[in-house]
Amino acid sequence: MNDPTTLEIWRTPLAPGRVSMAGRFCRLEPLVAALHANALHAANSADAAGRMWDYMGYGPFADLTGYHAWVENAERSADPRFFALLDAGSGAPLGVASYLRIDRPNGVIEVGHLAYSPALQRTPAATEAMYLMMKHAFELGYRRYEWKCNARNAKSRAAAERLGFTFEGVFRQHMVVKGRNRDTAWYSVLDGEWPRLRRGFERWLDPPNFDAAGCQRRSLRECRGRAENQT
């Protein structure tokens, strides 16, 4: 009798490399301190209250020197593998994201370390960056794509659900971050779910879905819903 859990076709994926990913609204490049740190620090400084760092394990940074040192360290890391998020039009670096907890034998990879400057937050580029990273991970052959966040981080949890991740539960007292308890909310997308989810992203990113001012005509949730109903 055949074992339905046996994976006959799947093969261990490659680790994500220092690659670039390009879309209509954004471009992702391997994070390099000499190229990106100064501009990223300037963009982040628009968040005078430092709210973008509230749920991060580091930051806010007191000055450029401290941030530059952090980027230099991140640049050398293979896990997490960091990328700079650039505006496709201007080429300005506006944020950082990474793959992390890269588990090749089990085909599991996580997206995180999302540090979006105010200029990137709630923009098409911010959403497209997440689409490009998810797409690349599944093209490499990963079976499971994870999103984890502080259970108190309502914005991150809403973002995960908007992007199509499935909520799996909360790990209580999972971590200590900046001297505070962190309960962690877990989300995932599986490789079998990706084709329909990809169609939803592509519907949303399609140029006719944006008006002359760059505003969406249909929400990502609506586009995902249409893709899920597609036969």
pLDDT in tens, 146-164: 999 999 999 999 999 999 9
Helix 64-75 vs helix 33-44: crossing angle, to nearest 10: 130
- For 22, the token pair is 């390009």
Report, in angstroms and rounded to the nearest whole number, the Rg of the chain calculated over CA atoms.
18
Is residue 176 within a helix (H) or strand (E), and if so which, with residue range?
A: strand 166-177
| Distance of alpha carbon 45 from alpha carbon 40, whole angstroms | 8
Q: Is 50 left (phi over 0), alpha (psi -120 to 50) or beta?
A: left
Pair 126, 216: CB distance under 8 Å: no
Does position 47 have pLDDT exceeding 70, yes or no? yes
Reported as a pLDDT band with limits 50, 70 and 90, residue 230 is low
Q: What is the mean pLDDT of residues 68-74?
A: 98
Give me the residue spans of the domains in the chain: 21-191
Q: What is the mean pLDDT of residues 181-207?
A: 97
Which residue type sits at 83? F
Give the residue carrying structure tokens 């939803």. Answer: 200
pLDDT in tens, 84-125: 999 999 999 999 999 999 999 999 999 999 999 999 999 999
Residue 228's pLDDT is what?
75
Q: What is the pTM for the complete model shown?
A: 0.95
Q: What is the CATH number of domain 21-191?
A: 3.40.630.30
CA-nearest of 142, 155, 143 to 114 is 155
